Structure 1
Amino acid sequence: MVDFYDQKKIILVTFGIILLISAIFIPAAVFYPAKVVTITQEAEVVGTSFWSLVLGSAGIVLLAAALFIAALIEQPLKSWLLSGAVAVMGLVSIAFSLGDYYYMTHDGFTYNPPLSFNSSTYTWEEFEKVEERLQKENGTSSIESVAYYFRDGHMVEFSSGRIFEMHNSLARRVEAAGGEFNRIQAP
């Protein structure tokens, strides 16, 4: 019985180490493509925030920690309760990572922010204005961030990500639907 128990610990620690190592690349290599595949086929570009990758990695690290806790704490009830609680937190973190996305279709823009399971879809007519904030560095202007203002009072701002690939097309569609486009140069 002792040999079996030691083997169980070795297996748990081994899988924990594998999860720790995979926490580096799984969010970008698996979670992002999973979003692209499961989101509507009409999506022209699918993006996600930096926080999605962080939350995905944290979730995998928490799952690895749950395995380590199960292997290292000698009291079975205590170890399984604690590892179960840590595993649940890891799964919630992964769920938030998978739920963080934005995409543009022919009809509008859909955004599901970090730490939320509720997405909002806006038609082009629901955009009030688009602001492109530029920064000047070494004599060259580049986009620092983009902000989208909606007629319902909501605002979404992005400072990185695939949004910059879809931004020009998005801004043209907003203008065509009667919204404003403003370019703001930083001093």
Structure 2
Amino acid sequence: MPRVIAVCVVHDLRPDAGTVGVTAIDKRPVEGPMKVGPYGVYADVQADRKHHGGLDQAVYVYAEEDARFWEGELGRMLAPGFFGENLRVEGLDVNAARVGEVWRIGATLEVQVTSPRKPCQTFARWVGGDDERGWVKRFTREGRLGPYLRVLTPGEVAAGDEITVLSVPDDAPTVIDGVPGVARAAASAL
């Protein structure tokens, strides 16, 4: 059964070389249930609201299976929150989810898949700066982007909560369909 393995919120705002000057990408797991409303997980923030957050990017999800892939590639452990995600999940191919797909997480929270993550230079600097040149293209090419979610019914979420797919639009693209640079072989292997 697909489930949440960690709920993550911003730990610290960090200085960043980007135009905003700080980043909220440093997300870490929290204990117990967290409220989730239309703009995301309570106690979380986005430093660059021009490009992150809002109703269609309220919650970012990343799969444990994809994190394990990157651990092998990067040669280090990547704890929940490393990708800036709010929810680390397992047992669900989040990249094969269709735009418009609706999930129930836990008892009451209902969310809808809206779009893939669009990796940025802040994310590249977070991952390793000059040590990971070409990170944005590499991350995109692998097709392990993870989706953003819109909150349809506010509720609470906690580690261990089950994820149930409630509806899937047959004719909608998957999260990674149409993303420039995604390797078709990687996308079909997910």
- For Structure 1 versus Structure 2, the TM-score category normalised by the shorter chain is under 0.3
* Greater relative contact order (CA < 8 Å, ≥ 6 in sequence): 2
TM score, norm. by length of structure 2: 0.24
- Comparing both structures, which one devotes a greater share of its residues to helix? 1
> TM-score normalised to the size of structure 1?
0.24
Greater strand fraction, Structure 1 or Structure 2? 2
